[in-house]
Structure 1
Amino acid sequence: MPFNPEQHRQKALNQDKENKNFLERLKKRTPKDLDQKASEFHEESVETFNCLECANCCKSISPIVIDRDIDRIARHLKLRPSDLIDKYLRLDSDGDYVFQTSPCPFLMPDNYCMIYEVRPRACREYPHTDRKRFHQITPLTYRNTFICPIVLDVVEKLKQSYL
């Protein structure tokens, strides 16, 4: 069954308060094995969901693009970093560079990334559910439950494991 972003968002909204409360509790009282379990559940979820069928992250949110990313992408596209910034990036309210448009300007119609080999670090690390010190990013994890089926699945598995 093809990914339906609206159905996914509705599913996340149905679990909204429960997920928010659970993740807040995880941040306050971090189980010693949280990173291990999150990473394990991440691996299971990645096997279940095909990011190329979804690409909701690329279609709906922009990563923070750091200077190192700008230099790498500009070199790949044979642009000066300033030209890459002018053409594709803007400063957000936090003063971080993000893409000007959504969906990502490098997302192709088949959901492949035009700059996959040099994509921003935030894209390479997304959805962040296998990250060390997982408890530090629970607010981000909560927000990502509305975007990424992997995140929602990992949170569900963590709830089953700890509740």
Structure 2
Amino acid sequence: MSELLSEWEKRSKENQKSYKQLLLKMQTKKGKETLRQLPDLHDEAFSKIDCLQCAGCCKTISPRFKTPDIKRVSKHLGLRESVFIDTYLRLDEDGDYVVKRSPCAFLGADNYCTIYDLRPNDCRNYPYTDSEEFFKRPNITMLNSVICPAVYYVLERLKMIVK
């Protein structure tokens, strides 16, 4: 991996204050213009990062399972929705269904997702490095920067762009 990604977890923890300032800057007019660069930065990050080498998201956080996700996955597994929920999910403090434990029950030893083609929309969209959500939810983005090297990479590149 590139120099930028060496010791990314440690560096991300050290840079939380500067990330907060950066994400606040992104709320300005100049920052919003930078939004157009996110898809390119996202592609650049994932040209350097292999999710299968990390799987930090699947090992530490849970996606929300919305009703369509529950229907789709339970059908694929041949389970009634209630059995799927009882077996794999719990309600979190926000009233959303999330996986009962970490790492995710659908993460294989090889870091492949056993329900990848049917995965919840939260998984499909994670880590939001190519969308407005990246700026709209700064606390989540800062948390994700210590979970996902792509988030760290995009934040570091943005620091170089937005001075």
State the Cα deviation string for residues 93-127 of structure 1 (Å, max 9, x = none): 01111000100000000000000010010001111
- 1:15 maps to 2:27: no
Distance 1:158 1:55 in 2: 23
Distance 1:102 1:29 in 2: 39
State the Cα deviation string for residues 26-54 of structure 1 (Å, max 9, x = none): 13555343222111100000010000000
- 1:112 maps to 2:116: no
Query: Offset of 1:133 from its aligned partner?
Result: 5.8
Q: Percent identity?
A: 42
Between the two proteins, the alignment pairs up a number of residues equal to 158
Match of 1:128 in 2: 128
Query: Offset of 1:67 from its aligned partner?
Result: 0.7
Distance 2:13 2:70 in 1: 35
AA at the equivalent of 1:85: I
Distance 2:95 2:75 in 1: 23
Query: Offset of 1:11 from its aligned partner?
Result: 1.7
Match of 1:77 in 2: 77
Unaligned ranges ≥5, structure 1: 2-6
Q: Is the 8 A contact 1:34 1:134 kept in 2?
A: no
TM-score, normalization by structure 2: 0.90
Indicate the larger mover: 26-35 or 48-57. Answer: 26-35
Where do residues 29-48 of structure 1 align in structure 2 (5 Å cutoff)?
A: 29=29, 31-48=31-48
State the Cα deviation string for residues 45-97 of structure 1 (Å, max 9, x = none): 00100000000000011111111100000011011111110000000001111
TM-score, normalization by structure 1: 0.90
Where do residues 141-152 of structure 1 align in structure 2 (5 Å cutoff)?
A: 141-152=141-152
Match of 1:100 in 2: 100
AA at the equivalent of 1:135: F
Query: Offset of 1:134 from its aligned partner?
Result: 4.2
Q: Is the 8 A contact 1:127 1:148 kept in 2?
A: yes
Q: Is the 8 A contact 1:65 1:98 kept in 2?
A: yes
Match of 2:138 in 1: 138
Distance 2:125 2:154 in 1: 15
